[in-house]
Amino acid sequence: MALIVQKYGGTSVGNPERIKNVAKRVARFQSQGHQVVVVVSAMSGETNKLIALAKEVQANPDPRELDMIMSTGEQVTIGLLAMALKDIGCEAKSYTGGQVKVLTDSTHTKARILSIDEANMRRDLDAGNVVVVAGFQGVDADGNITTLGRGGSDTSGVALAAALKADECQIYTDVDGVYTTDPRVVPEAKKLDTITFEEMLEMASLGSKVLQIRSVEFAGKYKVKLRVLSSFQDEGEGTLITVEEEKNMEQPIISGIAFNRDEAKLTMLGVPDKPGIAYQILGAIADANIDVDMIIQNVGHDGTTDFSFTVNRGEYAKAMGILEKVKAELGAREVTGDNKICKVSAVGVGMRSHPGVASQMFKALADEGINIQMISTSEIKISVVLDEKYLELAVRVLHRTFGLDQQV
């Protein structure tokens, strides 16, 4: 008998018929003698509807009240799924994040989990119930409802699996695993049977939408066995995300090609070249809670330098406004920006032992006449910033260059 945490995304519970299908799958696992905790998202499109509703009343919704509104999406789903389970003779009990006592900090709309009280869930599991938990939400120390930010249900699932010391955390999505790249861009993309946490972490941070990055970090930290499966297929093992690297001689150097369209680049030209400049520029950006991705500072000449960095496209206008203020303070020459860029990355633990991956990547792009604007590397990834119009071509070319099309 195993303790399994299953997480179902919005499309998997998008209508009553799909909720009934989820109930059947959950009941099948329980009938095999497993204890099952189910974490669900709001029905697809519901969260966006609730946010739009809030914005009709208040242009910039108050974060505390927005959390109050958004948390109702998951509350509907847990009630419906618990009913569907009971309807087929499977005892079930639903819990909001607050009822479980998923304790978070007080950062509304993107709270972080601090602790989880698993006592109530254990009691219900031992009594033979399926426990159905609302993902994406918790409560702070003062009892305020909080939400975990976009994709927070994945994080809820993994965090509950860690707290319960579950044997496996299964994430059910509308895809049947993790692919070498997005099959909508490269039809020849192949499903990976296994991938390491490190690789998955890079893929998630680089725009692969299968799993939310915080959930992968959580799983790696607490050694939670994570599996990605399709909620629309009964067969298949999905992709197992493991701590161990496979010792396979034939294993490819690169596991996947990730990309992100939501990038924007900002450059401050003619910045005085003196100590503390990077802090003065990026400190102001960080104070506004804007995440910076790539950073490049050019070699100074004539006592000035140019400083470029990338942010999420949604933060572009805000970051631009901050830089205009900082420009005046620093006496920089001008601020320029480009929100028509994208980032393409090659990821693979095989890079550690295989030199020459970067030059292979750069040559493949050069042969197609694709100009590289920025480069960033880590031990297991190489990322390049390109003009947005070259995104799909670059992904296809790199997928072929690193032999991912042929991978079995």
The tokens of 310 are what?
Answer: 């990338």
pLDDT of 136 over the 70 cut: yes
Task: Tell me 349's DSSP state.
Answer: G
Q: Provide the pLDDT confidence category of residue 208 given band limits of 50, 70 and 90.
A: low
Two tokens, residue 213:
């990055």
Report helix, strand or coil for 266: strand
- Span 88-101, average pLDDT: 95
Mean pLDDT over the full length of the chain: 90
What digits encode the pLDDT tens for the residues 210-221? Answer: 777 788 888 888
Domain architecture of the chain: domains with CATH: 3-174 (3.40.1160.10), 256-401 (3.30.2130.10)
> Worst-scoring range by mean pLDDT, 49-53, 229-233, 366-370, 378-382?
229-233
SS3 (DSSP) at 317? helix
Q: What is the pLDDT of residue 204?
A: 77
Q: What is the C-alpha to C-alpha distance for residues 358 and 367, in angstroms, rounded to an integer?
A: 14
Q: Cα 82 from chain centroid?
A: 27
User: Cα 153 to the chain's mean position, in Å?
Assistant: 10
Say what the pTM is.
0.77
User: Residue 50 — φ and ψ, nearest 5°?
Assistant: -65, -40
Q: Given pLDDT bands bounded at 50, 70 and 90, which one contains residue 251?
A: low
Identify the pLDDT of residue 358: 92
Check if the beta carbon of residue 24 is closer than 8 Å to that of residue 190: no
Q: Are 90 and 27 a contacting pair, CB within 8 Å?
A: yes
Q: Given a cut of 80, is residue 105 above it in pLDDT?
A: yes
Cβ partners under 8 Å of residue 276, min gap 6:
none
Predicted confidence at residue 146, as pLDDT, reads 96
Spatial strand order in the sheet of 334-347: 292-297, 304-312, 256-272, 334-347, 381-387, 374-378
Sign of torsion over alpha carbons 95, 98, 104, 108: positive
Which helix (H) or strand (E) covers residue 168, if one does?
Answer: strand 168-173
At 34-57, the pLDDT tens digits run 999 999 999 999 999 999 999 999
Strand 168-173 with 226-230, pairing: parallel
Predicted confidence band at 408 (pLDDT cuts at 50, 70, 90)?
Answer: very low
pLDDT for the residue 198: 87
> Residue 110 and residue 104: Cα distance in Å, rounded?
10
Query: Whole-angstrom distance between the N-terminal and C-terminal Cα of the chain?
Result: 33
Q: What is the mean pLDDT of residues 319-344?
A: 94
Largest CA distance in the chain: 78
pLDDT at residue 248 above 70?
no
Q: What is the CA radius of gyration of the chain?
A: 23
Q: What is the pLDDT of residue 355?
A: 83
Classify residue 192 by its DSSP letter. -
**198 contacts 244 by C-beta, under 8 angstroms:** no
Residues 6+ apart with CB under 8 A from 28: none
Checking if the pLDDT of 247 tops 60, the result is: no
Tell me which of 73 and 350 has the higher pLDDT: 73
Query: Is the model more confident about 380 or about 208?
Result: 380
Q: How buried is residue 372: exposed, middle or buried, by Cβ count under 10 Å (0-12/13-18/19+)?
A: middle
Indicate the SS3 state at residue 340. Answer: strand
- Alpha-helix residue ranges (DSSP H) falling in 111-187: 119-126, 152-164
pLDDT at 245 (0 to 100): 59
Contacts of 278 (CB under 8 A, 6+ apart): 295, 297, 307
Least confident of 5-19, 84-98, 139-153, 201-215: 201-215
